[in-house]
Every structure is written in C-alpha cells, then in structure tokens.
Structure 1
Amino acid sequence: MLSMSVLAAGAQAAEADQGPTRAQVQAELQQAKASGQYTFGEEGYPAAIAQTSSLTSQQVQAELAQAKNAGEVTFGNLDYPPVAAAETATSLTRAQVQSQLAQAKAEGLVTFGNMDYPPMGS
C-alpha cells in the first residue's frame, strides 16, 4: 500500500516538473521565426537583433556631414586618431610662424637630432 502512494506521488511530481508542452514549443518557434531570432545552420549566427533608432535618415546624414566638416571622420589607419579641425586651425600667418621659429632657433630652443638633447635654452 505504501508503494502505491509513493508511485502516485512520484507521478504527480513528474507531471509538475515537465517543461512546456509541444504546442507551447511550436508557438515559441513560430514567434522566434517571425521576429527573426531563429536561424538555420551557420548562416546568420548569432541571430541579428532588430535595431530601432530615434533619428531619421536625414538627421543621421546631417550628423555625418557635420562630423566630416569637423574632421572627426576617418578612413582606414592613415588618419587615426582623428584630429578635430578646431585643434589644427591657427590664427597665425605663415610669416608669424616663421618669425617664431627663427626666434626659437636663436634662443637655442630648436634642436636637430640627439647631439644637443635636451635643449639648453631659457
């Protein structure tokens, strides 16, 4: 008699521990296929998650144009890291820069090579 009650309790516990039904699994599979989260084979692994954006295409294009004008867009490794255009802009004329260079040379602040390193100027 005791063994029958143990078997009945075990059967009830097994039913309670069972996972989703076949119909539930099929419904989940159809939902995953519809949302693009289901892939087959190696193609598209892992499944791409749908991206949403709060910006319109025109806003993105305007931001890209602004970044290009500011010198913040790079291509390849040649111009990495990007240097903002504001950092490279100067208000000095070519003659003023040449004058400053001549003055620095006269004061010994400009060196060539490593023979006179560190510079001994003021």
Structure 2
Amino acid sequence: MKTLATALMLSMSVIAAGAQAAETGPSRAQVQAELQQAKVSGQYTFGEEGYPAPIAQTSSLSSQQVQAQLAEAKTAGVVTFGNLDYPPVAQSQASTLSRAEVQNELAQAKTAGLVTYGNLDYPPLGS
C-alpha cells in the first residue's frame, strides 16, 4: 500500500512539474528567434575574438565639436591627465575681496573656532 501511494504521489508531482514547465517558458522557436536577433544586432558573440561585444554608438557631434568640449572641460578642471593632475581642481574666478578683508574673515573664523592649526586644535570647537 505504501508503494502504491508513493508511486501515485511521484507520478502526480511529475505531471504537475511538466504542466508548469510547459506554461512558463518560451518556445524553442522563440528562443531561436531571439538568438538570431541578438546576433544581427551584435549583442551576441561566440568565442574569444568577439568578447566583449562591441556597443554601437552614434553621435551627432563632429570631431571638432568633441575636441572643443574636451578643451572646455580641461579649462574648467573637470578632465585630468596622469597622476600630476589628480585630483582635478576647477579654476576659480578672481576674488573681489581685498587682502585685508580676507584676513579679517580668517580672524573671525579663528575666534569662532571654525579654523584650527595642527593636531592640538582638533576637532574645531565650533563643530
């Protein structure tokens, strides 16, 4: 009796699994069509020579426009080259404050505890 019940349960589970698998996955024809479409669009490669798959990039900018944008980015300090330019520093605009005004602001910041010097003044009192 146990053997019959076990066999019945196994057969029901196999039937249920087969029915569920048939409902959820795409058909073989659909998979082959998707594969063919991926090959045509360059998203699928086979072997080492096509790895990684090239990504098609389109741009409406000319070479001169790209070079002009690069020059602007370098001037703004957004683009760096090599270790000497790291971290990038944006070029600041000229200050309208006089030297005396800057020194006065620094003295006020020191008095408020916002500026410290060396390890003895860390952390600042104002924070």
Which TM-score bucket, shorter chain as reference? 0.3 to 0.5
Normalising by structure 1, report the TM-score: 0.48
